[in-house]
Structure 1
Amino acid sequence: MQYYLIQPKDPLIIRSGRPFEEITDAQAARFPPPSTVAGALRNIHARSTGKALNNKLLELAVTGPLALKLPINGDAPNEEHILVPKPADVQYFYDGGTAKTQLVRAKPMALAEGDGCDLPSGLLPLLTESVNVGKPVAGPNWWSFNDLVAWRKGEEVSFEQVVENGWTPAEPDIRTHIAINNQSRNAEAGKIFQTTGLTMWQQRADNQAFPEACISILAGIDGDITLPLLNLGGERRLAQVEPCTLWPTIPTDLVQAIKTAKGLTLTFLTPVLFNSGWLPSWLDEDTLTGMPPSCKSLQVKLRAAALARWVPQSGWDLEKKQPRAAQKMIPAGATYWFEIVGEPSDADIQSLWLAHLCDDAQNNRNGFGLALPAAYRFDL
């Protein structure tokens, strides 16, 4: 796998799988899904090597994308600059008593006697550790990779730390367009629309015009890229692409920590696609037990899950020249809690590190379902 840094030269327009409205909104600004980045990387790889644009390119595995915060002072980025989506088990609450925003953790907990829910049999509800903490508020949707690792270890992570190390995008780039008649060269009546672009800059807390840092895209592909520019997203907007060696490395204590805890979490750093909606097909629907596709003997039992509402995912088939069928995509940040059944091997646990765990092999090759494992002990 060879890793590349993609630096957009203009705000990115990423379609959300719905028709363009006449008037768009800020929520339409999206980070590119894995399939968009995969298509762009395979395209520039084919152009770099003289290959044909056909279905053989789909056999090239792509990993990512993640975001990367590049300091404007020119310093080389390192692992602490890698950004990942906010985990779904975190909520931001404003405490009026202390006038501070807190991170509130939700975790699997047993129900009290007499309580009940409609979750599948054996699945635990997620309850917050704190009660009466205040009012839910908005916060950064992108965290530092190191902050997420610390959060998964149970360490204290502050809201101020998340804001400083994470990414809050600047205001979206909204542009108004009109249709021009090719014959008269005049604007056609009623044909006006807007596009919303994702601005790849860090929003400044002091609202100054000049940004603090620019945001790039980090991804990998099993192939060489020699050309310096590629097209990414709608309107064929340009992005610079260059090789890099930066990618998260597996912690030396991860394997032993998971074996000692006899449980683990899987946090998906890219959106994930499962055939049965929220439940992976590698888990038995009745017992919720199974083996991740990257493992040979590791048996796990699903105990809880935290995920946001699905979002549509589609694309364009270059060979057939037609839209691909729409899919329901679980947003990145989804987290699943598993209890380990039996004694896992070190190799199986190591294989989970940043593995792609979708049901379909092609979705894995497209970069969906990039999973971050972490140790978790069930204290019920």
Structure 2
Amino acid sequence: MSTLQGAIRTTLARKQGWSPHGKEELPAALGSSKDLGVLRLRGPYLRYRGERLYPAPHLFFSKKGEPLARLVLGEEVECDMGLVRLPKLEKNRLGKRLSGWLIAAGLEAALAGGIPPTETFFQAGDLWEPEHRVGIGWNWETRTAKEGQLYGAIHTRPKSELQIEVEVDGIPEDWHPEGAFGVSLGGEGRIAQVTITEGSSEPRDRLPSPSLTPEGDLLRFTVSLLTPGSYPKPCQVIREGPAKIPGRCVSASIDKVWQVGGWDLEKRRPRPLTSLFPPGSTWFYEAKREELDQIKELHGKLTGNQQAYGMGEVVIGTWQEGTK
């Protein structure tokens, strides 16, 4: 989002006559290097072949040639965190955890405690290809290569039908850009084509409603991130989940926390690294039956820090007790 919000705000400012090379200040409505001003963002999301893609909860494993398997919770075990219940594969299943994206129908199946149909699941190789490049440092004065500055880089080549989208709210009425145009995106300034769509999300992009059924007085549910989560106490979040979630966190399936930096244009130096929980991170909870409505209200909400940037969007699902 840090890259995309910069492109969005630069585009809006240029439409108001601002230039990054001029002496004018960035329009006050667009904030500063520390905030977004009046803007509120959601996403970013991927869209492929006209369908929005959502990060798959970290619940699914597979072995080549076999159908997907879903994690279940095992019995309590002793570890450095005390007594915990660890997610594990169903009995007699092998494989590795799959990272990927689901269309709305697949996400609905996952949140309902089931297995997403194969055709609803996309992995990175379905959406883009890595391009390996070799470069060398260049001395523009002598027009010769610099000694010892040969390097390699991996670029990403998206499939032609892949798009990145961000929902933007708060734009002043007379500022709305129209049509399609090109913008400079990212550190290398590559040109990206932008299309503006007015209004709320299409019905097919709306999150499926959570399917939660209490078992007696007990309600079991999951909380999964759709966008990176920024939280003030990462170690506590690993154990207990995001703050203000009803019930008790009993387990989690989380990838390594990301360390994300960036470049501070104002101070002309790297930004400090911050820890972000990756999309797909999932926590397992148990709560009381009377907390059902409160839990449903969390579906699609933003949690943690930097909510104006779309951080910490969560979806609510269900899980069943027992191993198979």
Question: Which bin holds the TM-score, normalised by the shorter protein?
Answer: 0.7 to 0.9
CA contact (8 A) 1:289 1:301 kept: no
C-alpha distance in 1 between matches for 2:104 and 2:155? 25
CA contact (8 A) 1:352 1:373 kept: yes
Offset, 1:64:
0.6
Q: Show structure 1 runs of 4+ deviating over 6 A.
A: none
Q: Secondary structure at the match of 1:174?
A: strand
Match among 292, 300, 304 for residue 354 of structure 1: 300
Distance 1:305 1:375, change over 3 A: same
CA contact (8 A) 1:173 1:196 kept: yes
Distance 1:143 1:56, change over 3 A: same
Give 1:153's aligned residue: 112
Q: Secondary structure at the match of 1:124?
A: strand
CA contact (8 A) 1:101 1:159 kept: no
User: Is 2:1 aligned against 1:54?
Assistant: no
Offset, 1:87:
2.3
C-alpha distance in 2 between matches for 1:218 and 1:267? 20
C-alpha distance in 2 between matches for 1:176 and 1:309? 29
Identity of aligned residues (%): 23
Distance 1:351 1:230, change over 3 A: farther
Structure 2 unaligned residues grouped into runs of 5+: 19-26
| CA distances 1:229-265 after superposition (whole Å, capped 9, x unpaired) | 333222011212222343632445x3xx336462321
User: Is 2:191 aligned against 1:238?
Assistant: yes
Offset, 1:271:
1.9
Match among 151, 173, 177 for residue 131 of structure 2: 173
Distance 1:193 1:48, change over 3 A: same
User: Is 2:212 aligned against 1:258?
Assistant: yes
TM-score, normalization: structure 1?
0.68
Task: Give the CA RMSD over aligned residues.
Answer: 3.1
C-alpha distance in 2 between matches for 1:121 and 1:223? 46
CA contact (8 A) 1:42 1:57 kept: no
Once the two structures are superposed, the pairs formed by residues 49-128 of structure 1 within 5 Å of their partners are: 49=16, 51=27, 54-55=32-33, 57-59=35-37, 60-70=39-49, 77=50, 81-94=51-64, 100-111=65-76, 116-118=77-79, 120-121=81-82, 123-128=84-89
Q: Secondary structure at the match of 2:307?
A: helix
Match among 228, 241, 254 for residue 271 of structure 1: 228
Offset, 1:355:
1.7
Q: Which structure is richer in relative contact order (CA contacts within 8 A, separation 6 or more)?
A: 1
Offset, 1:92:
1.5
| CA distances 1:81-126 after superposition (whole Å, capped 9, x unpaired) | 11122321211123xxxxx222121122334xxxx23164564211
C-alpha distance in 2 between matches for 1:151 and 1:291? 23
C-alpha distance in 2 between matches for 1:374 and 1:308? 19
Distance 1:278 1:354, change over 3 A: farther
C-alpha distance in 2 between matches for 1:125 and 1:56? 39
C-alpha distance in 2 between matches for 1:186 and 1:87? 50
Give 1:369's aligned residue: 312
C-alpha distance in 1 between matches for 2:99 and 2:237? 28
Q: Secondary structure at the match of 1:198?
A: strand
Distance 1:374 1:86, change over 3 A: closer
| CA distances 1:118-146 after superposition (whole Å, capped 9, x unpaired) | 16456421122232x34x35866233232
Offset, 1:67:
0.6
Give 1:130's aligned residue: 91
C-alpha distance in 2 between matches for 1:379 and 1:289? 25
Offset, 1:274:
2.3
C-alpha distance in 1 between matches for 2:74 and 2:315? 22
CA contact (8 A) 1:304 1:338 kept: yes
Structure 1 unaligned residues grouped into runs of 5+: 1-33, 71-76, 95-99, 202-212, 293-298
CA contact (8 A) 1:102 1:158 kept: no
Offset, 1:160:
5.5
User: Is 2:7 aligned against 1:43?
Assistant: no
Task: Give the strand-richer structure, 1 or 2.
Answer: 2
Which deviates further from its counterpart, 166-175 or 319-328? 166-175
CA contact (8 A) 2:229 2:278 kept: yes
CA contact (8 A) 1:290 1:301 kept: no
CA contact (8 A) 1:88 1:333 kept: yes
